[in-house]
Amino acid sequence: MNNILLNFFFIKSTNGLYHYGNDYFKYIRNPLVTVLVKPALFQIVRDMYPGVRVISCNYFSFLYQLYLACRCDSIIYTPSSHPIPFIDKQIIVLHDTYPFLSFRGSIKKILFVASARSSSCLLAYINHTDGLEFYKKHGFDSSRLMYSPNRFTGKITKYRSKRNLVENRLIIGLVGTESLKKNYSLIFKEIQRTGFYNSVLFLVFGHSNKYISDLKDEFSKLDISIFDSDLFDMSYFLASVDVIVSVAKTEGFGRPIASALESGVPCYLIENEIFREFFVGGAVFFPDINSLVFNLFDVWNSKKLVAVDFKPNPKFLVAFQDSINKISYF
């Protein structure tokens, strides 16, 4: 069994990529693991895995660790879309194609495709709708592809009776603060336009940053609070909201949405093929933001929320375990 170099170097915070990588790390059956991280994540990862060798890297030390890994014939597992050129014994994971949008994104796409084609590395994807289609479109051979879906975490919080009767204000949970792809401005504009803002409170699970700060300045009439994901866990967040809302169009999965549905928290989502791939039978889908906000207003008036009894398709659990086996014995 080869050593595994877990490459977290391209992950900047405890975001979805970080939690995805942790889910796989916990189940990989290989005792010889080294983790590469940026300095910002060093203490967090070391505290989580006290018996594992964790190395804080700058770019030079990162390249040196890659050199050592190649000399030792180690497997390099990168739970993000950053293939390293000319290294065959590596596994990389494409979550979504959002990073490839815009002019700057088109350059990233060229680099991604060129780097992936320079080796015979294993190319993983977490969904069929976006990730697999991207690989097919760019002509990657199916023998190099591996389906590696997110792990469904199961019920993580007790369903609270409060959700059967909304009190004072409707507490809307939003998840993630890492990029514009969340489209929060769209729902904030619609809530502000309808004058519904006095009846709602937004709790945003993630980190304080410029994106959120700019939104709070732009929509000063709205009550928007950050629920710091480094201080509070997901179960506490889900126990604090009435409903989860997402108007994102380019998500790769939606880990918090999966946790919410499995825990009985209603999720109102904008129509999205990727969300439908995973959450049909649990989430409520809307064709546009207007209808979603209108339904929230109706919930507030009626003081009732939809009941949720969601169980993920077993095929995702099987695919997750298959992927763990392939990584462990790659």
Residues 179 and 271 in one domain: yes
Q: What's the CA gap between 203 and 226, in Å, rounded?
A: 6
Let me know if residue 307 belongs to a domain.
no
- Reply yes or no on whether the pLDDT at 159 is more than 70: no
What average pLDDT does the segment 268-274 reach?
93
Measured in degrees and rounded to the nearest 5, phi and psi for residue 24 equal -75, -40
Rounded to two decimals, what is the model's pTM?
A: 0.91
Q: CA 292 to CA 39: how far, in whole Å? A: 41
In a shared domain, residues 15 and 147:
yes
pLDDT band at 167 (very low <50, low <70, confident <90, very high): low
pLDDT of residue 55: 96
What 3-state DSSP class applies to 187? Answer: helix
CATH number, domain of 112, equals 3.40.50.2000
Residue 265 and residue 321 in one domain: no
Q: Which run of H or of E encompasses 113?
A: helix 102-117
Q: Are residues 290 and 324 located together in one domain of the fold?
A: no
Question: What would the mean pLDDT of 122-133 be, rounded to a whole number?
Answer: 96
CB 91 within 8 A of CB 330: yes
Residue 265's domain comprises 161-302
| 170 shares a domain with 34 | no
User: Does residue 53 lie within any of the structural domains?
Assistant: yes
What pLDDT score was predicted for residue 292?
95
Backbone angles phi, psi at 121, to 5 degrees: -65, 160
Residues 111 and 248 grouped into a single domain: no
What pLDDT does residue 1 have?
59
Asked whether the predicted pLDDT for residue 63 surpasses 80, the reply is yes
Q: Would 108 be classed as within a structural domain?
A: yes
Q: What pLDDT, on the 0 to 100 scale, is given for residue 27? A: 86
41 by Cβ neighbours in 10 Å (0-12 / 13-18 / 19+) ranks as: buried
220 shares a domain with 141: no
Q: What is the mean pLDDT of residues 244-251?
A: 90
Number of domains in the chain: 2
